[in-house]
Structure 1
């Protein structure tokens, strides 16, 4: 297996472990078994677990921001973009056993490195910025009911999807996420009526 392929497999396996168990819920021994390589080989790619956790957060951030930018380019209305944003967070639940990476990190935030905290903070700032711009467009278009201050709407929507994820993970039922986000999703639908 090529070094880049091994590194990608390690990052994929680590991300799934964090999303299902939290950052403290797995070890390099677990990754060794999952990927089929020696622990020493993992240390070659990621000398410390902190390095690995920071790397998967940086990769996750790029992937999510690319998706959000795609919504802004490919979907005509801010309401549709927000609908896909909500769906993105719902899909991260998988069958109710996982969380998005950023939310999963909150479980172990006290043990995360400064580098990982910086990556998380930068990611959250970018997502809030995207949401604020999207709510500003929604207000201008009239495509979401009752938009007041876009920055406040962005903060509330972000807290809503993250909190709904946690509630759904606790219950083990993605329907909990749907119930929690219903009012926001209705604001998107009713604006079209």
Structure 2
């Protein structure tokens, strides 16, 4: 591939306003962050593996903060589409939560973790704009879970000590993120088995 950032088919914007090259950069950056963390990813490594120059990456994302901010925004958009699909595909609380867990387990199947979970662990070293995007991600998921649980149960769920759907949503979100780290060998099967116990308790 030509290592410049000239306007070619690869640099024409897609429906989201990004070029094919920009999406390739984000794809690889996401994979690396999910496996290694924010601070283990550099423009030099990305450029080498994508057969680009670092200048080409700076053309699309002037700074690492710009790149990761765009990455989390894309991740949030994908998550919103996933949550919308779950509501359309399942009409029971159990079905929605079980499928939600399955979708959340997908990074484990690729050897990584939830992008925003990894970034949250590095929060103290993240640029402010990236911190805000990560917080937005968790806020959106907590709000969605609270709404889904509220429409699916009449008493806030069966979790002891949880008086409201919001309480249950916070516990659920914390568990689906934390279980990624504690599941033996980060096994997707062990992960979903653990979360099934929580789903059964709520629903």
TM-score by length of 1: 0.87
Is this contact kept in 2: 1:167–1:176, CA < 8 A?
no
Q: Which residue of 2 aligns with 1:108?
A: 122
Q: Quick check: 2:120–2:134 contact (8 Å CA) kept in 1?
A: no
- 1:71 and 1:176 map into 2 onto residues whose CA distance is 22
| Residue of structure 1 aligned with 2:10, choices 2, 6, 11 | 2
Alignment of 1:34-183 (within 5 A): 34-95=49-110, 97-140=111-154, 146=158, 148-168=163-183, 171-183=185-197
CA-CA distance at 1:87 after TM superposition: 1.0
Distance apart, 1:175 and its partner CA: 4.0
1:133-164 per-residue CA deviation (whole Å, 9 max, x = no partner) reads 01001114x9x962651011100000010000
The more displaced of 48-57 and 105-114 is: 105-114
CA separation in 1, counterparts of 2:193 and 2:61? 40
**Offset, 1:29:** 1.2
Q: Is the 8 A contact 2:157 2:168 kept in 1?
A: no
Match of 1:76, SS state, is coil
Task: Please list every run of 5 or more consecutive structure 1 residues that lacks an aligned counterpart in the other structure.
Answer: none
Q: For the residues of structure 2 that align with 1:182 and 1:78, how far apart are their CA atoms?
A: 13
Structure 1 runs, 4 residues or longer, greater than 6 Å off: none
State the alpha-carbon separation in 2 of the partners of residues 71 and 183 from structure 1. 20
Contact 2:150-2:165 within 8 A present in 1 as well = yes
Q: Is the 8 A contact 1:83 1:185 kept in 2?
A: yes
Distance across 2 between alignment mates of 1:53 and 1:94: 22
Aligned-residue Cα RMSD (Å) equals 2.0
Aligned length: 185
Counterpart of 1:59 in 2: which secondary structure? helix
Partner residue in 1 for 2:42: 27
